[in-house]
Structure 1
């Protein structure tokens, strides 16, 4: 009997090394991300052990270097979809349609509100020293260079949402869904990975809340395009604040 295209694929389909290819690309991307982060950190710190010792003109390229490990998060799911899946667009439904835009903007706005409320509460717990803005820490040294600030803003609003959503709400989500994991469990698990990925312990709870809201865009549309829009919307105000720092 022929299977309807809307039906989930059989468990045996799409397996690589005994597991769904989404898991393989997820762990490959994650391993590459942390390995390259360690290498670039060692290179950036240099002999004196202080990144701050770099001159301002040298800080511009660090904007791109900071994003290179993040790039692997998106490249691994793209490779997996092309090599073992039906292609990037078919596997992830990446190109946003009109509904993705509406849902993404709504979820992104609510993610902003969620993050703001939770960060205010966490500020009372941790204090201002442990709740500093990560974007300011990374890109603060290029505040006088408008060109590099534009590059940084594009990375924050366009590139990072695209790679992170392909990684978390794309490859990992698809792998879990392949094994019929309940959607609400997938939503929570991917939000946990999203929060942990940012490596900011004091903001983990806020990032978890934002991850749930952003993931909800994927949940109700079944499209990564919607979660990319939500993620980009969530990142837009912090990126704009770079120009006022």
Structure 2
């Protein structure tokens, strides 16, 4: 009689999250990745502000300096947010839910339009209450500045389309994923990411208003479990403010 053979060693398999039905590996980044992206944003912003402090009197030079200061920090922070899941996870498509689905776009549009109504009313009340202090950081930056048309359009497209995408990568992508990795409940993830989104804009006089603005955006992420819906909702929410900045920077609307 043959002696029983010892069992073969089990093959090593990557860790899988208990709540992942598709068998994808759990990512391994935490809050440090989010703070790294935020540090990139702050350092680039401070460096550009110091380097471009005196652009001169030329409207083109002023416009270029403002455009660079507004766009580059946000984009570079978003690049960090995209690199992290490539290095420590399954890539942004899986870990952030950057998967194009018509249902997510529809959800983002509906929530975005509903949120736009709420935030427009909240902004009107906030402006009446706070007066001149109610202006956003971008609005204050462009106050009284006449931009060349090309620069004004670039700023408009950034505020409307690019900045929401970048910010969603940071807050509803990188930060959201860090809290999921630590097993936070989804409601807690939603509330904390909303609060940090409002605080992270570094506009203390508008933090409460930013909380109201962020709630429907985070809700789109919470309901779908993916980032595209919150990106669309964020872009819908930013359209009117971006249009106002465009008209103001072209001198077609009073500052």
Figure out how many residues of one structure are paired with residues of the other and give that number.
233
1:31 CA drift (Å): 1.1
Provide closer, same or farther for how the CA distance between residues 108 and 6 of structure 1 changes in structure 2, counting only shifts above 3 A: farther
Q: Does 1:114 align with 2:118?
A: yes
SS of the residue corresponding to residue 134 of structure 2 reads coil
The answer (yes or no) to whether the contact 1:95–1:225 under 8 Å persists in 2 is yes
Provide closer, same or farther for how the CA distance between residues 22 and 96 of structure 1 changes in structure 2, counting only shifts above 3 A: farther
Cα-Cα RMSD = 2.7
Match of 1:233 in 2: 236
Match of 2:62 in 1: 59
Structure-1 separation of matches of 2:217 and 2:64: 30
Unaligned runs of 5+ in 2: 1-9, 249-255
1:192 CA drift (Å): 1.1
Q: Which structure has the highest helix share of the two?
A: 1
- Which has more radius of gyration? 2
Match of 2:191 in 1: 188
Q: Does 1:152 align with 2:155?
A: yes
Match of 1:70 in 2: 74
Match of 1:31 in 2: 39
The answer (yes or no) to whether the contact 2:71–2:158 under 8 Å persists in 1 is yes
What are the Cα deviations for residues 169-195 of structure 1, in whole angstroms up to 9, with x where unaligned? 001101111222111111111111111
Summarize the alignment of residues 43-58 of structure 1 with structure 2, pairs less than 5 Å apart.
43-46=51-54, 54-58=57-61
Structure-2 separation of matches of 1:154 and 1:27: 27
Structure-2 separation of matches of 1:121 and 1:142: 26
Unaligned runs of 5+ in 1: 16-20
Q: TM-score, normalised by structure 1?
A: 0.85
What are the Cα deviations for residues 15-65 of structure 1, in whole angstroms up to 9, with x where unaligned? 3xxxxx14232011011111221111222224xxxx7x6431212212123
Summarize the alignment of residues 89-168 of structure 1 with structure 2, pairs less than 5 Å apart.
89-127=93-131, 129-140=132-143, 143-168=146-171
Match of 1:18 in 2: none
Structure-2 separation of matches of 1:230 and 1:224: 10
The answer (yes or no) to whether the contact 1:104–1:229 under 8 Å persists in 2 is yes
What are the Cα deviations for residues 67-98 of structure 1, in whole angstroms up to 9, with x where unaligned? 11111321122111111111121111214311
Match of 1:205 in 2: 208
Structure-1 separation of matches of 2:146 and 2:110: 31
The answer (yes or no) to whether the contact 1:118–1:205 under 8 Å persists in 2 is no
